[in-house]
Structure 1
């Protein structure tokens, strides 16, 4: 049942009481507007289609982002990078009230980030985070949001995967540009031999290196599963040449320091457009060129699907031509 009350300001407050439910209250400029709204809500209640949007109308997206950062983000492996994306999302959209957010707001944010020169993959990750925030809010927190607005917009087309491989004597030049006393050189050599990610290489502990049986155990990888990486004779030689000292980890260099040293070495060697992660592309392709099949390569690299593996694998056409004869 709806009741109407004129406020000292001249506006009209409507309250609809429901049995064993919190009353629904809203204020309007005129009594006619209040009555019209009340009739609409009561009709929805009678037909069982009413959704109380009070919480959505009093909660900002910034508050949802804060709660997500506190409750959901700490459970993820990519915690630090996600926190940076959440800060950007809050800065760009956090002021909006949840109930008022439409696809056009998300589309405007998408276009703004692309115009700023951000990579398509970066924008897609931000939109993915935002979409998950809405999904968690709807499914787990019971926030009355009628639809996930991120799912209502076009996503920018994913950019073509990199196909950068080492050519001619680039590896020799790169290693020569790295000091023999700098363990980044050893990290690069092992990356080429194992196809391990930078994060995986830097997380390896000596207790997980089995020299006798020739493998490194990665107990917790990016995809959430453990993986045993077999070691070639050269990889074994590289590991045996490392001074264990007192550290429980094989490498002690910070991730950002590895990237910086790698970039400086490429500049000194005159190598263009080469990233550390390209070494994983190179190593994976070399495994195929050695004659290993798809299942064997995926067990080494940890790729879950052929599509994912193919993106990292770029075989040299000249080598494939030789197999046709």
Structure 2
């Protein structure tokens, strides 16, 4: 049974509150496994011994700075602090501790680094494909044609693919809900070939297997600083280069905001210069 004693004199320690949060709140979340790991890490932290009302913003400043100094990514630190912030909000609004402040809200969060702008250079894709197995060749091409995430591609099953309508349905996306992805002629061709070779999933690989195989091919080809997820950036940029509108690209990629879509779009200046040349006509007459 959940703890119901919410009198002001019974403010729990951070460790105790996290245990309750783990039982009542975390199971309702899509990313419950990842959040459980973050909670267990917080419970081992020295701050876990303090009552919630004794945790100050300066304590979290030390936590933030120590994590940055240890080389943890900004994304990781912000996610860790987000768990703590939500815990304080739940304690205040649902557990009866109305006077409890949220020290995370007074904290200056570390700024996100500039988004990656790595795209495939001429010749790189051919080198990677030449050093990849057939299933990886198909997967890489499919990723570039659809802008789907690694997890989304690997979760595809044949019952979620309509070859006649040329649509693949992602049952559960990173941002929640499902998304229907239109299939280009090449993406459709890849799936039709995979269907003739497989009775299970189109791409029967694990996420780690895909990442390791991709990095191995890049190393063998002498290609640096390229990750499998960069193919999603590549695909998104190619959609715009083909002339698709912002709403059309967002519908394919699943980006909820223009800001996030922009982070995944990297149009080359030299390509835009060629586009301007193609679109240019005689200069307008001036009266």
TM-score w.r.t. the length of structure 1 is: 0.79
CA contact under 8 A between 2:160 and 2:170: conserved in structure 1?
A: yes
State the shift of 1:144 in Å: 5.0
Aligned residues of 1:114 and 1:120 also touching (Cα < 8 A):
yes
Conservation of the 8 A alpha-carbon contact between 1:284 and 1:301 = yes
1:178 and 1:185 in contact (8 A); partners too: yes
1:128-143 map, 5 Å? 128-143=82-97
Partner of 2:8: 53
SS in 1 for 2:79: helix
Aligned residue pairs total: 271
- Supply the distance in 2 between the matched residues of 1:84 and 1:276 (Cα, whole angstroms): 25
* Aligned equivalents of 2:137, 2:34: Cα separation in 1: 26
Q: Deviation per CA, 1:44-98, whole angstroms, max 9, x where unpaired?
A: xxxxxxx953111xx2111222222222222222222222222222222322222
For 1:313, the equivalent position in structure 2 comes to: 265
Aligned mate of 1:237, from 171, 186, 189: 189
- Deviation string, structure 1 residues 137-192 (Cα, Å, up to 9, x no partner): 21122235521011111111111111111111111111112122xx2332222111
When Rg is computed on C-alpha atoms for both structures, the one with the higher figure is 1
Matched, 1:297 2:259: no
Aligned: 1:98 with 2:52: yes
Q: CA RMSD in A?
A: 1.8
Matching residue of 1:153 = 107
Q: Does 1:203 align with 2:150?
A: no
Moved more, 263-272 or 313-322: 263-272
Query: 66, 71, 74: which is aligned to 2:24?
Result: 71
Q: Distance in 2 between matches of 1:136 and 1:189?
A: 45
Among residues 58, 69, 77, which one is paired with 1:123 in the alignment? 77
Correspondent of 1:223 among 171, 175, 183: 175
Q: How does 1:267-286 map to 2 (within 5 A)?
A: 267-286=219-238
Where does residue 38 of structure 2 map in the other structure?
85
Partner SS state of residue 308, structure 1: helix
Between the aligned partners of 2:276 and 2:203, the Cα distance in structure 1 is 43
Runs of 4+ residues deviating >4 angstroms: none
The DSSP-based 3-state class of the residue aligned with 1:141 is coil
CA displacement, residues 100-136 of structure 1 (integer Å, 9 cap, x when unaligned): 1111111111111001011112111111121111111
Change (3 A) 1:252 1:140: farther
Output the CA distance in 2 between the equivalents of 1:169 and 1:94. Answer: 53
CA distance in 2, matches of 1:266, 1:143: 53
Of Structure 1 and Structure 2, the greater strand share is in 1
Higher relative contact order (CA 8 A, sep 6+): 2
Q: Does the 8 Å CA contact 1:53/1:99 hold for their aligned counterparts?
A: no
| 1:251 aligned counterpart, secondary structure | coil
Question: Please, what TM-score do these two structures have when normalized by structure 2?
Answer: 0.89
User: Is 1:176 paired with 2:137?
Assistant: no
